[in-house]
Amino acid sequence: MTETLEACETSARPAAPPAIAVRLDGVTKEFAGRRVLDDVSFEVPAGRGFVILGRSGTGKSVTLRHIIGLARPDRGRVFVGDDEISALDGPELSRVRRRIGFLFQNAALFDSISVGENVAFPLRRHTRLGEPEIRQRAGDKLAAVGLDKEYDKMPADLSGGMRKRAGLARALALDPDLILVDEPSAGLDPITADEIDDLLLGLKRSGGATLVVVTHNIPSARRLGDSLVMLHEGRIVARGSAADFDRSTNELVRAFMASQHAG
C-alpha cells in the first residue's frame, strides 16, 4: 500500500512536488515520571508554515523529535503524510525520514568530518550522484546559508551561528518535503536571521515544503507561521494565526507577542 503510494509520488514529483501534512493526535510523553508533553494535538496542512512557541523547557524540541520519530509517544499518534511515523521502524521509518530535513537545536554536526562533508553526507547516503555533483550540491547548500567559504573547515572551527547554518544546510541537502527546524535564528544577527527566514519561506512557497519551526523570535514567527501554537508545561495553551495571537487575552501569549527580543 505504502510502497505503491511512494512509487506514485516519485513519478509524480517533477510535475507537482507533494507536500506533507503533519498531524499529532493526543501525544503524551513522560521522561522519568515527569510529563513533558500532555495530550498535544495539532495539524499542519501540507505546504504550510507552523510555528511552535513556548518558554524554555516546555517541550518544543521534544515535540519536533516526535515528528521525525526520534522520540516515541507514550500515548497518542504522530502522522507524517499518510504514515504513522510513531509506529514505523527500520527501512519504513528511513523511507519517511529521507523526506524530512531536521535542524537540531545545537546543530549536531558530525565533528569528525568537514563542514562540507556534513552537508554531503545525506547525499552520499541517499543518492547515486557522482562525486563532482555531490560536492557541487553541498557547496550550493552551504552558499545558500552564507557559508560558501567554509566547505573544508572542521565543525569545531566554526562559530555557534555558523554551525547552526551549516546544520540547516545539511537538513536541506536532500531537498526535503518537510522541514523541521529548532530555533534556526538563535545566535544569529538580525540580518542573517532574516536571510535564513527568506530561505525557508522560499522553500515553502516555491518548493511546496511544509515548515515546522520552533522559535523565540516573534518577527520570524510572524513571517514563517501560517498558524502558531503556544506550548506551556507540555500543553497547548493557545493556537491560531499571528493575528489571532495578537488579539489573545492569554497572559503568556501577550507577553511573548509584545517582546522585542529577536533570538
Partner 1 sequence: MLDRAAPAATAALATVGEVWLFALKAVRESVLPPFEFRETVRQLYELGVRSAPLVAISGLAVGVVLSMHTRASLERFGAEAMIPAGLAIALVRETGPLTAALLLSGRIGAGIGAELGAMKVTEQIDALEATAVDSFRYLVVTRVVACVIALPILTTIMNFAGMIGGYLAETAATGMSLSLYFTSAFTLIDMTDYVPATIKTMVFGFIIATMSSYLGFTTTSGTEGVGRASTRAVVLSSMLIIVSNVILVRLIFFIFPEVAG
Ligand X SMILES: Nc1ncnc2c1ncn2[C@@H]1O[C@H](COP(=O)(O)OP(=O)(O)OP(=O)(O)O)[C@@H](O)[C@H]1O
Residues that bind Mg ion (CB under 5 A): 61, 105
If the CB atoms of residues 64 and 88 are measured against ligand X, the closer one turns out to be: 64
47, 49, 59, 122: residue in contact with ligand X (rule CB under 6 A): 59
Instruction: Please list every residue from 36 through 55 that binds ligand X, using CB under 6 A.
Output: 36, 54
Q: Which of 27, 62, 68, 257 binds partner 1 (CB under 8 A)?
A: 68
State the residue for C-alpha cell 513533558: 36
Q: What values do phi and psi take at 93, rounded to 5?
A: -60, -45
Q: Does residue 130 belong to the site contacting partner 1 (CB under 8 A)? A: no
Other C-beta atoms within 10 Å of 131: how many? 9
36 binds, among partner 1, Mg ion, ligand X, none (CB under 5 to 8 A by kind): ligand X
Which range, of 93-101, 138-146, 226-234, 248-256, touches partner 1 by CB under 8 A?
A: 93-101
Which of Mg ion, partner 1, ligand X, none does residue 126 bind to, with CB < 5 to 8 Å depending on kind? partner 1
Is the distance from CB of 110 to CB of 125 less than 8 angstroms? Answer: no
CB of 60 to ligand X, least distance (A): 4
Q: Report residue 70 CA to chain centroid gap.
A: 13
Grid cell listed for 251: 497572559
Three-state helix/strand/coil letters over 25-40: EEEEEEECCEEEEEEE
Grid cell digits, residue 220: 520570524
Q: Residue 164 binds which entry of Mg ion, ligand X, partner 1, none, with Cβ cut-offs from 5 to 8 Å by kind?
A: none
Burial (0-12, 13-18, 19+ Cβ within 10 Å), 146: middle
> Does the footprint of partner 1 cover residue 204 (CB under 8 A)?
no
Nearer to ligand X, 11 or 56 (CB): 56
CB 241 within 8 A of CB 228: yes
Question: Which residues of the shown chain bind ligand X in the complex (CB under 6 A)?
Answer: 31-32, 36, 54, 56-62, 105
